Structure 1
């Protein structure tokens, strides 16, 4: 008997609690209807009159039926599809270098006897930077000059004697060959003497000189670095998806990291012929003008490029659903729901770019997706009901 009393009390509490839930909880009637509970029982639990329940059933469940009434049309919240562009802008960090940078080394070995420039000097091509000891080369050049002069005199004398047949033609020819050899020896000696001067191979600004007068240098000893920074080259790397969109001469915008408020305009100077397999990026070189000499080699630059980009539809992140077949969304077409498969292109906090058969302005469901089925009736929250629905609701009252 005690068990039966407890069972009876439990059933009463369960029925009363269920009736209160159906009567006062919004959407409870729809939930019970979805799991197969009969409409009269729902009306009885919710306290609705029989006429309301019958009216709701005759009109396809569109009658409100009280607070917990049942409706076959799923209540949803929608947002219009929009569009956005991706891959329309490239931002990269690059390193700058002078358009021409030359490390000056001697053409021969020896001791430095003179340094004619200092750090920061602007020099022209061919200007002497430093000199090596050249006494030996000067003596050799003078000796070669004397030898050449002697050979010339001998040739002239033999030619005159040859006219009088005092010497043979062979002797005249040998004298001419000796003169030519002496001229070549003189040119070699003069070249060795000129090579004692260390000259600038190009114009530019001299860097820090670490050598001193008296130092012994060889042909591999760096004397100075000369930078022509009238233009700055910026090397940067771009993802492979931009490889087909970049061409030589295309405009770029850059900012020196050390000079954030200054915008620099330039153009693409060179493009590498292959991608780096490890990073899947392409090396690109931009050229920036530097008329006021405010930029330096080695500076870091932020490079920006603009492209036409690719336009894709966008939806609210809440609209994206998943199944075993992949991602999809629900679109409201008239008063019916339609399932549309999508491919996610880019996910942002406020929108998702997708590849799908949807157009800008399409109504995409963001809330209420749990009760949707393909081709099922839907009712958009906040929209006025149609005239037949309003008439049914008036009759129920």
Structure 2
């Protein structure tokens, strides 16, 4: 680049820098006057103090206007509120229990011997007193027959002595009568031994798997079969000790078998244990459930549910809970005035918090905008500032039409 072009660019940059310095520096006019610049030139280049004060006033006024506009001209805090609801706790108990038949008997013989016959089979429904199996009874049959003969002989002897009258002494007659009574007792014993060769069902129900076969030698401790009366099922379950004062005999229950999802059976509390287990701090409870269709089996597991009146507590949004040195609290809004209400958290869920406080259902609490609140202060709810919900002033439509005509 040529030298004269470089000098021209430097001169232009210097003039621009000088103009900026003269324009915005407050003492630029004084400095120019000291170096001999005419006053007319200074008046053209540097603005007067009055002009600067006027501009500064305009800027300050604009800033104040923006500040007022930013606050909307209203210092009342804007909050988002939500009504208080209520919920129940400790109103339901759920537990897992085991089912048993209302009557379950393991049948064992009353005598020892070899099995000669099994009358029933597994799965049969039997009645009380029905024969299940029989033992060999030849020896007992003979003994019963001998006792019958001895009784008949003693009876005939008594009859002969009575017919002889005074020819027989009273002592001889009495001995004959005693002999007949002994023969009767011997016959009853023989008949009882013979009867015990039949294994009878002590109760009605369904026969389980028979574990013996004909020909087996059995004793009085040998189980032959298990008979279950499944007309009702007893379900044992354990409840925490805090429910020990709330549960009672006869209270309704519902039970769902784990093996039958979706099915539900109703029943009632049948019995309650008299003490709390110290190891698990639980109380044993037994429920009775009807089984009219024989759907349930002994040994099934059940999900048992018991309902209680429960305890009602107010619920608030988790965002409404605030903390201070005194503990937790919420802001309640009543007639656009805030009130600080202390709360005690009972149960915390993802969508609501159960609290113990002087709150009623329908009370309004602050959920958002709690930073500027104070006790007894005035607030505005977010719904009140909605332009679509705010009522229009009277004559607004007429004023709008008049303004449009004036513009024309």
Q: TM-score range by the shorter chain?
A: 0.7 to 0.9
Task: Tell me the number of residue pairs that the alignment of Structure 1 and Structure 2 aligns.
Answer: 330
Among 104, 126, 129, the residue aligned to 1:126: 129
Secondary structure at the residue paired with 2:360? coil
Q: Secondary structure at the match of 2:233?
A: strand
SS of corresponding position for 1:383? helix
Matched, 1:106 2:109: yes
Q: Which moved more, 1:140-149 or 1:104-113?
A: 140-149
Which residue number corresponds to residue 88 of structure 1?
Answer: 91
Instruction: Indicate the residue corresponding to 1:177 in structure 2.
Output: 178
Q: Does 1:234 align with 2:262?
A: no
Partner of 1:222 in structure 2? Answer: 223
8 Å CA contact retained: 1:72, 1:377: no
- C-alpha distance in structure 1 between counterparts of 2:179 and 2:329, whole Å: 95
1:99 offset after TM fit, Å? Answer: 1.6
Give yes or no for the alignment of 1:280 onto 2:281: yes
Q: CA RMSD in A?
A: 3.0
1:32 maps to: none
Contact 1:141 1:190 in 2 (8 A): yes
Q: Would the alpha carbon gap of residues 48 and 334 (structure 1) be closer, same or farther in structure 2, given more than 3 Å must change? A: farther
Q: 1:48 to 1:89 in 2, by over 3 A?
A: farther
For 1:361 and 1:279, locate their aligned partners in 2 and report how far apart those are by CA, in whole Å: 41
Given that residues 64 and 71 in structure 1 are in contact (C-alpha distance below 8 angstroms), is that contact kept between their aligned partners in structure 2?
no
2:82 alignment partner in structure 1: 79
Q: In structure 2, how many angstroms separate the alpha carbons of the residues matched to 1:276 and 1:97?
A: 21
Distance 1:326 1:110 in 2: 80
Scaled by the length of structure 2, what TM-score is found?
A: 0.72
Residues 48 and 268 of structure 1: CA distance in aligned 2, closer, same or farther (over 3 Å): farther
Q: CA deviation at 1:155?
A: 1.8
Change (3 A) 1:137 1:325: farther
- 1:83-104 deviation per Cα after TM superposition (whole angstroms, max 9, x unaligned): 1122333333222221211110
Residues 102 and 227 of structure 1 are in contact (CA less than 8 Å); yes or no, is this contact kept in structure 2?
yes
Give distance in 1, aligned partners of 2:262 and 2:141. 57
How big is each residue's C-alpha offset from its partner over 1:27-59, in whole Å with a ceiling of 9 and x where there is no partner? xxxxxxxxxxxxxxxxx9xx8749959xxxxxx
| Distance in 1 separating the partners of 2:67 and 2:276 | 65
Cα deviation digits, residues 276-333 of structure 1 (max 9, x gap): 3333333333333222222211122223333333221101112223344433222234
User: Which sections of structure 2, spanning at least 5 residues, go unmatched?
Assistant: 1-55, 391-408
Secondary structure of the structure 2 residue equivalent to 1:202: coil
- Partners of 1:350 and 1:213 in 2: CA distance: 68
**Cα separation, partners in 2 of 1:197 and 1:366, compared to 1, 3 Å:** same
Q: Confirm whether residue 265 of structure 1 aligns to residue 266 of structure 2.
A: yes
Alignment partner, residue 8 of structure 1: none
CA distance in 2, matches of 1:277, 1:136: 56
Match of 2:46 in 1: none
Q: CA deviation at 1:140?
A: 1.9
Give the equivalent residue in structure 1 for 2:318: 317
SS of the residue corresponding to residue 170 of structure 1 reads: helix
Number of the residue aligned with 1:138: 141
Q: Distance in 1 between matches of 2:253 and 2:123?
A: 30
Deviations 1:331-361 (A, max 9, x none): 2344443222222222211001111101112
Rounded Cα–Cα distance in structure 2 between residues aligned with 1:137 and 1:150: 20
* CA drift at 1:229: 1.0
Q: Which runs of 5+ in 1 are unaligned?
A: 1-43, 54-62, 388-397
1:10 equivalent in structure 2? none
Q: State the secondary structure of the residue aligned to 2:68.
A: coil
* Structure 1: distance between partners of 2:342 and 2:182: 89
Of 85, 95, 100, the match for 1:97: 100
Deviations 1:137-180 (A, max 9, x none): 2222222222222221222222233x13x332122212212211
Contact 1:96–1:234 under 8 Å retained in 2: yes
Q: C-alpha separation between the residues in 2 aligned to 1:285 and 1:49?
A: 84
* Equivalent position SS for 2:188: helix
Shift of 1:255: 2.3
Q: Secondary structure at the match of 1:358?
A: coil
Change (3 A) 1:150 1:328: same
